[in-house]
Amino acid sequence: MENNIMQILLISQIVVCVLLTVSVLLQNRAEGLGKMFGGGGEVFRTKRGLEKFLYYFTIALIAVLVVMSLIILKYS
């Protein structure tokens, strides 16, 4: 029984990792090297729509991944 739960946790952790990777890659990366060195000209910009959803979805996936990792650590 515990072996089945561990397999489910490991598979779901892999799924969360894949979703997290996709979520990070889909986020807007319009800033180039110029922005890194102080250029770009945008002082303040708010996230709207899909960009805001992806931002919060990424944070939620990180939290889920950390909790799942701690649960797997506890039961292993």
Q: What is the pLDDT of residue 67?
A: 96
Q: Which residues contact 13 (CB under 8 A, 6 or more apart)?
A: 65, 68, 69, 72
Q: What is the pLDDT of residue 75?
A: 87
Q: What is the pLDDT of residue 6?
A: 92
Contact 35, 69 (CB under 8 A): no
Residues of the chain under the 50 pLDDT cut: none
Q: How many CB atoms lie within 10 A of CB 12?
A: 14
How far apart (Å, rounded) are the C-alpha atoms in residues 40 and 23? 24
Q: What is the pLDDT of residue 63?
A: 97
